Every structure is written in structure tokens, then in C-alpha cells.
């Protein structure tokens, strides 16, 4: 069975559109998301376009600011500070990765905590790891919604997360732990990856390499979440980290690429933006 992130996000966005309409009625304006895109990396351009489209569906005001990849770190920091000070802006997102001459951490830290709809600010990350109220990063949040959609009872299960990035691997491992799974984080230096992944009732794969997980590495009946977005070197088509067709025959359910985690990331960004707007009204 496939878990459609696309279908789930269509439903969630329809609910959010109603929520936004009510908020607009109550407060006289809609939530406002500012997105900064530096350079013209095709992947980043496509993500940012997706974010603008979703904003339109939900009724969020979207301002996408494009800058050339020659922008200096100082100019980018000044732009972020300008948006911090802009009362009309509720959420700020700087699309990653940034050009190499810019310190990503500096830029993320410059975003005001209240407007950090990506959940990447170090204080948001710290709050997550201390189980305090925080903005949860969009991809991990979307993955938890997909597991719920799959009807997966998490407590007591064995979860294996392959990948240890700040954006996906680490935060999703923490969310699974908070949901009372027994969590293992595997990575590029893990010996005998298959031996580890075969233990997983819930397998989350976020490494960014096609064919990382084959059918023999999956426990029969497992739920598999494929976070990878890659180009298949042979066909040029979009593919995940998991060999979907062969794993589908073993797993209870699996998320497809495209149409799985990707749309959920964008949908959770919409939710984080609406939440940021609402917090500001209190
Ligand atoms: N690049 C890849 N994923 C993300 C994300 O979730 N947020 C931002 N800002 N950049 C990304």
C-alpha cells in the first residue's frame, strides 16, 4: 500500500484554508510568509514555487524575494533583519542550501525566533530536545502526520532513522522518541545497514542516495517513509532513497516519491506560518 502525501496534503490544506478565512475575518488580514531564494538551483526554485502555490491555495500571503548568488552575507543578513522588523510579516524562510561564501548558521540565527517557520533556529531546536513548546521543522512534522495517516501505532515500536541531518534525521528521531518508539539512528558509517534496518517496524530514510534501501533490508509489514529526492541516474526521473516497487511487496505501506513526504513538508510550512500568525495576535 502507498501512503499518499499528496492526497493528505490536499485535505489538510482545505482545512487550513477555512482556518485562514476565519482568522482573516477576525484579525483583518491573512498570515504572511516571506521566502528568500538565493541563486537559481533548480531544486530550490521548484521548492519555492511549490511553497508559493500552496500559500495561494491556503490563502496565505506569499512574498518570494529572489536574490542572485553573488549576494554578500551582509546583504542577506540585512534583508533578514528588515523582514524581522516588518510587522506585516509573520513567517520567514530562507531556502537552503546557500552559496558557499555565506554562513548558513549565521543566517538561520538572524531570523527572529517568532518568525522561524522552518524550526531551524537553535532556540527552536533546543526547545524540541527539551520537550518545550517550539516550532517543529516541516519535514519531520509531515512525517509524523503520514505515520498517523497510515494508522501506525508508534508507542513501543522499533523505529530506525537512516540519516542524521539537522533538517530531517535528528528531529524526526526525537519526535519518534517522544511518541515512545525505541529509536535507532543509522548513517553512512553504520556497519551492516541491512541488519539494522531489518529490525525496524518504522523505517525513515533520509540520506539522499537512490537504491539505499532494497527489499531484503526491510522487515515484512514495516512502514517505510522515503524522504529522498533524487534523480534516477538511468532514467532521469525523480526517485527516493528506497527501491519503492520491490520494497512495496514487503512493507505494509510506503510513501512514494514524488507525492509522499514532499507535499507534506510544504503543507506543514503552511501550518507553521498560520500558527506564527496566531501567536502574534495574542
Ligand atoms: N532545503 C531543503 N529542505 C528545506 C527546508 O525544509 N527548508 C529550507 N529553508 N530549505 C530547505
pLDDT value for 18: 98
CA-167 nearest atom, ligand 1: 6
pLDDT in tens, 80-103: 999 999 999 999 999 999 999 999
Q: Average pLDDT, stretch 244-272?
A: 98
pLDDT value for 233: 84
pLDDT value for 189: 97
pLDDT value for 55: 98
* Cβ of residue 244 lying under 6 Å from some atom of ligand 1: no
* Cβ of residue 95 lying under 6 Å from some atom of ligand 1: yes
Mean pLDDT over the full length of the chain = 97
pLDDT band at residue 64, thresholds of 50, 70 and 90? Answer: very high
CA distance 76 to 257: 33
pLDDT in tens, 103-156: 999 999 999 999 999 999 999 999 999 999 999 999 999 999 999 999 999 999
- Tell me if residue 199 is catalytic: no
pLDDT band at residue 282, thresholds of 50, 70 and 90? Answer: confident
Q: What is the best residue among 118, 136, 170, 263 to mutate for testing ligand 1's pocket, by most ligand atoms within 8 Å of CB?
A: 118
Pairing outcome for strands 182-186 and 158-162 = parallel
Cβ atoms within 10 A of the Cβ of 176, count? 26
- Active-site position among 95, 174, 201, 219: 95
With H, G, I as helix, E, B as strand and everything else as coil, classify residue 184. strand
- Ligand 1 mean position, distance from CA 212 (Å): 22
pLDDT in tens, 220-243: 999 999 999 999 888 999 999 999
* Cβ of residue 45 lying under 6 Å from some atom of ligand 1: no
* Cβ of residue 272 lying under 6 Å from some atom of ligand 1: no
pLDDT in tens, 194-204: 999 999 999 99
Pairing outcome for strands 61-67 and 158-162 = unpaired
- Ligand 1 mean position, distance from CA 180 (Å): 27
Of 42 and 171, more confident: 171
pLDDT band at residue 252, thresholds of 50, 70 and 90? Answer: very high
Amino acid at each position: 500500500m502507498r501512503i499518499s502525501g499528496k492526497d493528505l496534503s490536499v485535505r489538510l490544506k482545505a482545512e487550513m484554508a477555512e482556518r485562514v478565512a476565519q482568522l482573516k475575518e477576525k484579525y483583518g488580514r491573512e498570515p504572511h510568509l516571506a521566502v528568500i531564494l538565493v541563486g537559481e538551483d533548480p531544486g530550490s526554485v521548484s521548492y519555492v514555487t511549490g511553497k508559493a502555490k500552496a500559500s495561494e491555495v491556503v490563502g496565505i500571503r506569499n512574498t518570494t524575494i529572489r536574490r542572485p548568488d553573488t549576494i554578500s552575507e551582509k546583504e542577506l543578513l540585512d534583508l533578514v533583519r528588515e523582514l524581522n522588523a516588518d510587522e506585516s510579516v509573520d513567517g520567514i524562510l530562507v531556502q537552503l542550501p546557500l552559496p558557499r561564501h555565506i554562513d548558513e548558521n549565521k543566517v538561520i540565527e538572524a531570523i527572529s525566533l517568532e518568525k522561524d517557520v522552518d524550526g531551524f533556529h537553535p532556540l527552536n531546536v533546543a526547545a524540541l530536545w527539551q520537550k518545550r513548546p517550539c516550532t517543529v521543522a516541516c519535514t519531520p512534522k509531515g512525517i509524523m502526520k503520514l505515520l498517523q495517516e497510515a494508522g501506525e501505532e508508534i508507542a513501543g515500536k522499533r523505529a530506525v532513522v537512516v540519516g542524521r541531518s539537522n533538517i530531517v534525521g535528528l528531529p524526526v528521531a526525537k519526535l519518534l522518541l517522544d511518541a515512545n518508539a525505541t529509536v535507532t539512528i543509522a548513517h553512512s558509517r553504520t556497519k551492516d545497514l541491512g541488519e539494522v534496518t531489518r529490525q525496524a517496524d518504522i523505517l525513515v530514510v533520509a540520506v539522499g542516495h537512490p537504491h539505499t534501501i532494497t527489499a531484503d533490508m526491510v522487515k515484512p509489514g514495516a512502514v517505510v517513509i522515503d524522504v529522498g529526492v533524487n534523480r534516477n541516474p538511468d532514467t532521469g526521473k525523480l526517485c527516493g532513497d528506497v527501491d519503492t516497487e520491490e520494497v512495496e511487496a514487503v512493507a505494509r505501506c510506503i510513501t512514494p516519491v514524488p507525492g509522499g513526504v514532499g507535499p507534506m513538508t510544504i503543507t506543514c510550512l503552511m501550518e507553521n506560518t498560520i500558527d506564527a500568525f496566531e501567536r502574534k495576535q495574542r
